[in-house]
Structure 1
Amino acid sequence: MSHQLHPDIELGELKLKISNLERSLQFYQDVVGFQIKSKQAGRAVLTADGEHPLLILEEIPDAVIVPKRTMSGLYHFAILLPTRRDLGIALRRLIDSGIHIGQADHLVSEALYISDPDQNGIEIYRDRPRESWQRDANGNYKMTTDPIDWDGLLDESKDSSAERLPSGTTIGHVHFHVGDLQKAKAFYCDLLGFDIAADLMRHMGALFISAGGYHHHIGLNVWAGANAPAAPANGTGLAYYTIVVPTRAELETIVERFRKADVPVREQGQAWFVIDPSGIEVRFIL
């Protein structure tokens, strides 16, 4: 890899294709805790702080809800909360909603898992301090799926409640089903410049990649099956996700690398779009 992605990249807004906007808005407001920034026919922009968009919902005609683990595309997107107390408050809100809650202690983080009405996966998590993250002898971050400290989270947030996500909430990472891990690795690591944070391809069929030493900005897996097809145009799921780069020079370098590799790149407004080998659209902005 001759180019390493800028360490200060961040993830920005995601756009989801959904089947029923009003149903999804009720879920994302009442269960997850987003606020509506703007709304028009069939489309809404959601935020945590009232200003910065994190999620766009777009209702599509004749939508087909894509069953879990059947196609390439979104496995889950992950909402990163500022503190453990915030995660405890989110847990209380999820319990009150009656939704099914998955959970895992990943060592680097504590995470809760839910699905929206269109079966889009959502992780809500908080990071442990970076200095506590550990790597194994091969340089992979040590991550696991231990049971979460459920009682500790509830105790952390006792006498606390909030109907909305806190200011400082971001999109921490995204995780995808892909058709071919080697092709995904070539695109995201060899071409785009992500670092490998944890290579679990042989044992788990998964690869976790990042920039700037994060535990992962992107997860990739083949759990939907080798050569899993992309969802149909009217299938629910991810429309695009966003990588925010900190400098114009970095953005220009990325675009030029795609062009030299004969990867079609499309400019729209202030953003550039490419499609990865599994049909997942990536949006790049400053």
Structure 2
Amino acid sequence: MSISIHPDTTLGAVKLKISDLTQSLRFYTEVVGLRILEKTDASAALTADGKTALVLLEQIPDAIVAPERRRTTGLYHYALLLPNRKELGIVLKRLIAHRIPLGQADHLVSEALYISDPDNNGIEIYADRPRSEWKRDANGDYEMATDPVDWEGLLQEAGEEPITKGLPPETIMGHVHLHTVGIEESRAFYTGLLGFDVVGDYKQMRALFVSAGGYHHHLGLNIWAGIGAPAPSPRSTGLDYYTIVYPDSGTLSAALERLLAAGIAVDQQDGEAYVTDPSSVRIKLTTKLVHQN
């Protein structure tokens, strides 16, 4: 029997392994525009609204900085979703002022800017177009593209807003995009067990997009690091885990039961759980948007 994940399921914080906390905090506060919510000597929680963590940083000993072009499974990028186009224009102004190398794309469903942090963790910062403008093809996949962004239009939207203005409090974790060992392995786990709905079966680009509630994608799953790519070294900078947030304990419990029945190891701690997908990517499953790390 096929299952479909609860439509109110969302994503929460990503936790990153980094090489230098001071360096990363300077980048994430001055360039990205997040604020420090909590900090220790080797870790920090970063927020946009002053209450909810979006990015967790942990400095690891003897870290190996991941190469810019990865050949392992794990993070391709995580994506911070802004509430509107004006806020994306302000981010663009700030990136230009800091002379940050960046990529860009008009995906039809959204407009996106791409950067990397000091440890080559990929970051997308984007704003959605209205859902009424999203289109699906004959197969039911969302029509997406990589057209050029209207730079001038974004900068005009930003107006005279100062670049020191941080990310708006409405900023959320929009999606996470992963390098995987294989599309079919990922499909079986993310749709067959967790119940995410396929919204983009993009064979030509060797990627699968899945989501909850009809979103254009909460997870991107690709094989761009190579089919059967190995897991990264434990000492490598990169993704420690990302978070799936269920709307209530009942939906979380049902997901955990399916995982356990399928022989997936589940580490349960205080109403939360950690599992590992077929690509050695660790996932935190919870019902709470909190800043625990």
Task: Report the TM-score, using the length of structure 2 for normalisation.
Answer: 0.96
Corresponding residue number in structure 2 for 1:110: 111
Matches within 5 A, 1:142-153: 142-153=143-154
Helix, strand or coil for the counterpart of 2:138?
coil
Corresponding position of 1:227: 228
Q: State the partner residue of 1:198.
A: 200
Query: 1:131 aligns to what?
Result: 132
1:61 counterpart = 2:33: no
Encode CA deviations 1:29-52: one digit per residue, 9 max, x unaligned: 000001001110200010001111
Q: Give the CA deviation at 1:204.
A: 1.1
Match of 1:237? 238
Match of 1:188 among 187, 190, 203: 190
Which residue pairs with 1:78 in the alignment? 79
Percent of aligned positions with the same letter in both sequences? 54
| One-letter identity of the residue aligned with 2:80 | I
Give distance in 2, aligned partners of 1:23 and 1:49. Answer: 22
CA–CA distance in structure 1, aligned partners of residues 111 and 80 of structure 2: 12
Whether 2:158 is the aligned partner of 1:157: answer yes
Structure 2 residue matching 1:232: 3-state secondary structure: coil
2:176 aligned to which of 171, 174, 177: 174
Q: Which residue of 1 aligns with 2:8?
A: 8
Instruction: Give the residue type in structure 2 aligned to 1:191.
Output: L
Distance 2:106 2:243 in 1: 26
Cα distance in 1, alignment partners of residues 64 and 205 from structure 2 = 29
Gapped regions of structure 2 (runs ≥ 5): 288-293
SS across alignment from 1:3: coil
Distance (Å, rounded) in 1 between the aligned partners of 2:3 and 2:222? 24
Report the 3-state secondary structure (helix = DSSP H, G, I; strand = E; otherwise coil) of the residue aligned with 1:273: strand
Aligned-partner SS, 1:255: helix
C-alpha deviation, 1:191, in angstroms: 1.1
Residue 280 of structure 1 aligns to which amino acid in structure 2?
V
Alignment-mate amino acid for residue 41 of structure 2:
A
Q: Secondary structure at the match of 2:283?
A: strand
Render the CA deviation track for 1:114-134: whole Å, top value 9, x for unaligned: 000000000000000001100
- 5+ residue gaps, structure 1, are none
Look up the match of 2:52. Answer: 52
Q: Classify the secondary structure of the residue corresponding to 1:279.
A: coil
Matched, 1:249 2:253: no
Checking the alignment, whether the CA contact within 8 Å between 2:206 and 2:224 is kept in structure 1 is yes
- Per-residue Cα deviation, 1:54-110 (whole angstroms, up to 9, x for no partner): 110000001011212211000000000001000000100110110101000000000
Whole-Å separation in 2 of the counterparts to 1:63 and 1:270: 31
Alpha-carbon offset, residue 207 of structure 1 = 0.6
Q: Which residue number corresponds to residue 271 of structure 2?
A: 270
Structure 1 CA distance for aligned equivalents of residues 105 and 11 of structure 2: 22
Distance 1:122 1:149 in 2: 20
| Residues 9 and 246 in structure 2, CA contact (< 8 A), matched pair in contact too | yes
Q: What SS class does the counterpart of residue 195 from structure 2 fall into?
A: coil
Deviations 1:170-201 (A, max 9, x none): 00000000011110110001111001111012
1:269, distance to aligned residue in structure 2 (A): 2.8
The whole-number CA distance in structure 1 between the counterparts of 2:146 and 2:70 is 19
When normalised by structure 1's length, the TM-score is: 0.98
Deviation at 1:268, TM superposition (A): 2.0
The CA distance in 1 between the partners of 2:33 and 2:167, in whole Å, is: 5
* Mapped partners of 1:244, 1:62: distance in 2: 32
Q: CA RMSD in A?
A: 0.8
State the Cα distance separating 1:162 from its structure 2 match.
4.3
Note if contact 2:110-2:128 (Cα within 8 Å) is conserved in structure 1.
Answer: yes
Say if 2:273 and 2:286, in contact at 8 Å, map to a contact too: yes
Q: Give the match for residue 39 of structure 1.
A: 39
Q: Partner of 2:132: helix, strand, or coil?
A: helix
SS in 2 for 1:228: coil
Distance in 1 of aligned mates of 2:118 and 2:66: 11
Shift of 1:270: 3.0
Q: Does the 8 Å CA contact 2:74/2:279 hold for their aligned counterparts?
A: yes
Q: Distance in 1 between matches of 2:49 and 2:3?
A: 34
Q: Determine the C-alpha separation between the residues in 2 that align with 1:53 and 1:109.
A: 23
